[in-house]
Amino acid sequence: MIELDNVAYSYGGAELFSSLNLALAPGSFHFLTGPSGAGKTTLLKLCYGALIATGGQVRLFGQDARTLDRDAVALSRRKIGVVHQDCQFLDHLTVAENIALPLTVSGRSVQASDVTDLLGWVGLTQQANQLPPELSGGERQRAALARAVIMSPEVILADEPTGNVDWEMSQRLLALLVELNKMGKTVLIATHDLSLIRTAKSQVSARVLRLKDRKLQLAGADL
């Protein structure tokens, strides 16, 4: 689905990482961890075509990301649901409209039942007509997750989804992501929250990758 072969990325002359290999197989569950500034967000952006690798090859659904034009990248993003730490909503639209936005921009008809079902799944039925600034941190993350899955994507990429929420809410978000994985979705979560990883490993078969010293390593028993 998403493959990184010998990928390097430099910014402003400084190499963030190099010789990086990763393959997200269908239905897999990965955690990406590492210290702040190691390049977790950059790696995620490479995975959804927001950045182009300065070396090596990134393949999105079999296509070399370097050869994709902006429209092709936009089409590939419809198969990738992205959850950001800061959620990135349109603050003038209601929660329901924000969740339906991927359907709207892809020209698909928005069925009220699709949005209603998702709102129920993430527990935001009561907040459907509120504006994003009126939501709490946990509610915003759940709304972002609902928006990420409304197109029924094959891959879910989450960048520090529990960064701004309390432990209870992080467990709830994790449960939603595990549920999506059990439905066959590929999940990659970038996080520095090791307790979240430990909890997840008891629920799902997850690989943990550590980005450190410009290399990607498989993390082991130290977690």
Partner 1 sequence: MDKLQRILDLIAGDPQADRAVPPTGFTARLTFLAAAAMAFLAVFALALSLATGRLADRWSAELAKTSTLRISAPAGQMDAQTAAALSVLETTPGVAEARALDDDEQRALLAPWFGADLPIETLPVPQLIEIIEDGDGFDPTGLRARLQAEVPGAVLDDHTRWREPLVEAASRLRLLGIVSMLLIAGATAAMITLAANAALAANAQVIRVMRLVGAQDIYIARAFVRRFTLRSFLGAAGGTLLGTFAVLLLPRADAAGGFLTGLGFQGWHWLLPLTIPVLAAAVAFFATRAAALRTLQEQS
Among 2, 4, 151, 197, binds partner 1 (CB under 8 A): 151
Among 23, 26, 92, 205, binds partner 1 (CB under 8 A): 92
Q: How far apart are CA 144 and CA 74, in angstroms?
A: 18
Q: How far apart are CA 172 and CA 31, in angstroms?
A: 17
Stretch that binds partner 1, among 22-30, 90-98, 180-188, 208-216 (CB under 8 A): 90-98
Kindly tell me which of 34 and 102 has the beta carbon lying closer to partner 1.
Answer: 102
Q: Is 9 an interacting residue with respect to partner 1 (CB under 8 A)? A: no
Q: Which of 175, 172, 210, 177 is nearest to 33 (CA)?
A: 210
Among 6, 10, 19, 104, binds partner 1 (CB under 8 A): 104
Strand 207-212 versus strand 155-159 pairing type: unpaired
The count of C-alpha atoms lying within 13 angstroms of the C-alpha of 120, restricted to the half-sphere facing its C-beta, is: 6
Specify whether the backbone of 38 is left (phi greater than 0), alpha (psi in -120 to 50) or beta. Answer: alpha
Kindly tell me which of 78 and 214 has the beta carbon lying closer to partner 1.
Answer: 78
For partner 1 (CB under 8 A), the number of binding residues is 25
Main-chain phi, psi angles of 24, to 5 degrees: -95, 100
Q: Is 131 an interacting residue with respect to partner 1 (CB under 8 A)? A: no
Could you list the residues that contact partner 1 (CB under 8 A)?
50, 70-71, 74-75, 77-78, 82, 84, 88-90, 92-93, 97, 100-102, 104-107, 110, 147, 151
